[in-house]
Structure 1
Amino acid sequence: MADSTSLDDRLVDRLTERLRTSSRVASSDFKMTTGDIGILKSTLLPSFGLYSGLSLATFIAAETTTRVELKDWLWPSGQVINAWWSAVGRPMHETGISFSDAWASVSWTQKLLLGGVTLWGARLFARIASRSLARGKDDPRYDAVKKEPGFWKSALFKIFLPEAFVLSLISLPITMPFSMGETTLPLSLNSLGTVRALGVGLFSAGFALEVLADTQLELHRRERDDLCRHGIWSVVRHPNYLGDTLVHLSFAVLNLADSFNPIMFLGPVANYAFLRFIGGDKQTEESQEVRYQVNDPHKYQQLKQWRQEKNSFWPSVRDLINPWALAVVGCGLIGVVVEEMLRTTFTA
């Protein structure tokens, strides 16, 4: 009985510490308050500090090996590290509790969040790292920028640290929940369950979309040397980036069922903006157009035709009934059923 009481006391102390270091907006409205600034200080700045340190180390390794693509290794792995540090590592460090005690104070929805981030990040990291090692040289997307005069002298401040800041914004849905109290939304239990199911469904669909896109692209490249335009790639030109967008949106939606602040929706918005207008499909197609026009006229013509036939990111109305699009929706529904079974088993 004494041991149980001691454990309960430690959990209460740990939760009290989380509440003490956070501020929340009132449930009646979502206008910006001084509390929001406090939340940003407790999440955004620590995230930027973590990512800046990791980016500096990555920059040193990238300059040494002349491989800019090493920053892409940090993109998924850094988010996984940050999520686990926020949820478990930071409470252990600040309050002295054990891993099991810290894990016990994480809610089921937050465990889903951590599991989703870990599954997504580990798979993407393995994908990026394996392709990089097999290629044996830098990603062709970065060949042009490396030819710019004085590239390495300015790369840390023009590329690596700015991406660290973007990552800090993207990570809001996976860091803020662990410095906040209970949900700010006055929802019924049934509504909370529906919201959680929506988050799980979005994650499952997005994750399936990424896996299918990467797998089919890899198989296509082993057999042919033209553009991959079949399978899931017949829905949009960049299904992997669409999948990534759905995954990050799911992290914010999941928080609607637990610790929520509207500021965390800056995460999926920042991720979407980065994929559409900075990196992602914009950078990929700009690189493809330059390389194909010079080295592969056949692919260049395919790319021009593909742009006329398919949207870059979001499916057109006619592509919503594409069998592959429906298969992705099915994967989302399967994810909801599996989560329900797991929750019934482990929380009963």
Structure 2
Amino acid sequence: MAGAPAYSMMIDPKPHSRAPPPPSPGFKMTTGDVGILKSTLLPSFSLYSGLSVAAYAVAQSTDRLEIKDWLWPSAQVLNAWLTAIGRPMYETGITFPDAWRGLTWSEKLLISGVTVWGTRLFARIVSRSLARGKDDPRYEAQKKEKGFWKTALFKIFLPEAAFLSFISLPITVPYSMGDTTLSVSTNTLSTVRALGVGLFSAGFALEIMADTQLELHLNEREDLCRYGVWSLVRHPNYLGDTLVHISFLLMNITDSFNPIVLLGPLANYLFLRLVGGDKKTEESQEKRYQQQDTHKYEQLCNWRGEKNSFWPSLKDLTNPWALAVVGCGLIGVVAEEIVRSSLTMR
């Protein structure tokens, strides 16, 4: 439409102080550029594998396999900041404030979301680990396998580093690309950004609610927690994590989008469902409850027949706790709009 402001100025104004990309061919790329492997996956895997080796050494020396879980959120936050801020500072010689000002609004939203999500999850994992004083019950049976620590680096730590490399694509690729490859209207991009912010807010709130309600329950009772957001699905914390990672994908669409970032939330979902999430958790619970607590085992069996492990049913969408989660998402959208508008008006 004639006279309408351009998308880059309407939604994600790119500051004039943004440093120009260096001549290195790996710093900016097109969708089909094979350099994406060199510029995103390989650096991520190098970072994660190095951190995994260090985590393995600590885990083996302390006999605490759960040390690898400390790495999961913290490594993603570190990778996001190194890619978005550290890399341009190193390659172009700009200062931290200039590197931050050079990010678009969507890029700032993305790295802020990753930081808030990862920091909270890291604090939760570490505090729970220190309070417990021993390894996570899910890992005790694994460690009893013959020669466990001799093969754990290659069977557990490095494979998880590979998964993280793919999961991190939405938080590394946008800082290594040019402008968006999608040709859609400004209104559509605004809607997508709002959906991304809403999903992040809802997923983040769901994780907090799930962890808080479970901790309060365990302090008062010894049976399974099946109220609050735990009345929606058997593993609301994993559902919240999935919503957060989908939101990272949506934030990509509003700025520098490359189809390869679709692998991020997909890899995260597959890991949570098939590798280290609800499947492993319930396998461990079933074995322990059968041997130690028949009441909990009966509860778990009945619960499986009533609730899905990951996705709520249609009737659960009217559950007050589902409405509370949706409400948190809407609050996030409104808050982001207010902050963005106030900063734009300055």
Determine which of 26, 29, 36 is the counterpart of 1:23.
Answer: 29
Q: CA 1:294–1:110 in 2, change beyond 3 Å: closer, same or farther?
A: same
Change (3 A) 1:10 1:344: closer
1:238 alignment partner AA: H
Q: Deviations over 1:5-56 (max 9, x none)?
A: xxx997343x35588622223xxxxxxx3x1x21122000000000011000
Deviation at 1:347, TM superposition (A): 2.4
User: 1:115-144: per-residue Cα shift (whole Å, max 9, x none)?
Assistant: 100000000000000000000010010001
Per the TM alignment, residue 59 of structure 1 is displaced from its structure 2 partner at its CA by: 0.3
Q: Deviations over 1:299-343 (max 9, x none)?
A: 000000000011110001111111101110111111000000010
For structure 1, which runs of at least 5 residues remain unmatched after alignment? Answer: 1-7, 26-32
Runs of 4+ in structure 1 deviating by more than 6 angstroms, as ranges, are none
Q: Is 2:45 aligned against 1:38?
A: no
1:248 pairs with 2:254: no
Shift in alpha-carbon separation, 1:344–1:16, aligned structure 2, 3 A:
farther
Give CA-to-partner distance per residue, 1:227-272, whole Å, 9 cap, x none: 0000110000000000000000000111100000111010000000
> Does residue 179 of structure 1 match 2:176?
yes
Change (3 A) 1:268 1:56: same
Q: Which runs of 5+ in 2 are unaligned?
A: 1-14
Superposed, which structure 2 residues align to 1:210-221 within 5 Å?
210-221=207-218
Contact 1:19 1:180 in 2 (8 A): no
In the TM superposition, 1:43-82 aligns within 5 A as 43-82=40-79
Q: How many residues align?
A: 331
SS in 2 for 1:333: helix
1:116 aligned to 2:113? yes
Using a 3 Å threshold, how does the CA distance of structure 1 residues 330 and 9 change in structure 2: closer, same or farther? closer
TM-superposed CA distance for 1:192, in Å, is 1.2
| 1:125 has 2:122 as partner | yes
Cα distance, 1:195–1:319 mapped onto 2, change above 3 Å: same
TM-score scaled by length of structure 1: 0.93
Aligned pairs for 1:145-294 within 5 A: 145-294=142-291
Identity, in percent, stands at 69
Letter in 2 for 1:205: A
Structure with greater helix share of residues:
1
TM-score by length of 2: 0.93
Measure the CA separation in 1 of the matches of 2:164 and 2:72.
8
Task: Give yes or no for the alignment of 1:11 onto 2:18.
Answer: yes
1:168-224 deviations in Å (ceiling 9; x for gaps): 000000000000011111122211111100100110010011000000000000110
> Which one-letter code corresponds to 1:22 in the other structure?
K
Letter matched to residue 148 of structure 1 = E
Q: 1:10 to 1:330 in 2, by over 3 A?
A: closer
For 1:295, the equivalent position in structure 2 comes to: 292
Other-structure match for 1:92: 89
Q: CA RMSD in A?
A: 1.4
Query: Take 1:17 and 1:207, find their aligned partners in 2: how far apart are those partners?
Result: 39
